[in-house]
Amino acid sequence: MPDTPKPGVPALADVTFEHLKTALKRGWSDVTKAPMFALVFAGTYVLCGWIMTWITLQTGQSYWLVFAAIGFPLIAPFFAVGLYDVSRRIEQGRPLDWPEILSVILRQSKRQLPSICAIIIFMFLFWFFVAHMIFALFMGLATMTNVSTSFDVYLSADGITMLTVGTLVGAAFASVLYMITVLSLPLLLDREVDFVTAMITSFQYVQAHPIQMFAWAGFIAIFTFISMLPGFVGLFLSLPLLGHATWHLYDMLAYDTMSDQGSAG
pLDDT digits (tens, 9 = 90+) for 42-70: 888 788 778 777 777 777 665 566 556 55
CA 178/CA 102 separation, integer angstroms: 24
Decide: helix, strand or coil at residue 192. Answer: strand
CA atoms in the 13 A half-sphere facing the CB of 79: 25
Decide: helix, strand or coil at residue 105. Answer: helix
CA 61/CA 84 separation, integer angstroms: 36
**CA-based torsion, 196, 199, 202, 203: positive or negative:** negative
235 pLDDT band (50/70/90 cuts)? Answer: confident
Q: Which of 223, 229, 181 is nearest to 78 (CA)?
A: 181
pLDDT digits (tens, 9 = 90+) for 84-104: 999 999 998 999 988 888 777
Among the listed ranges 103-107, 202-206, 212-216, 236-240, which one has the minimum average pLDDT value? 103-107
Q: How many CB atoms lie within 10 A of CB 214?
A: 15
The DSSP output letter for 7 is E
Q: Could you give the C-alpha distances from 118 to 76, 91, 173, 244, in angstroms and in order? A: 13, 28, 15, 22
pLDDT digits (tens, 9 = 90+) for 160-193: 888 889 889 988 988 998 999 999 989 988 888 9
SS (H, E, C) 174-187: HHHHHHHHCCHHHH
Q: How much is the pLDDT for 225?
A: 85
* Domains of the chain by residue range: 16-142+150-255
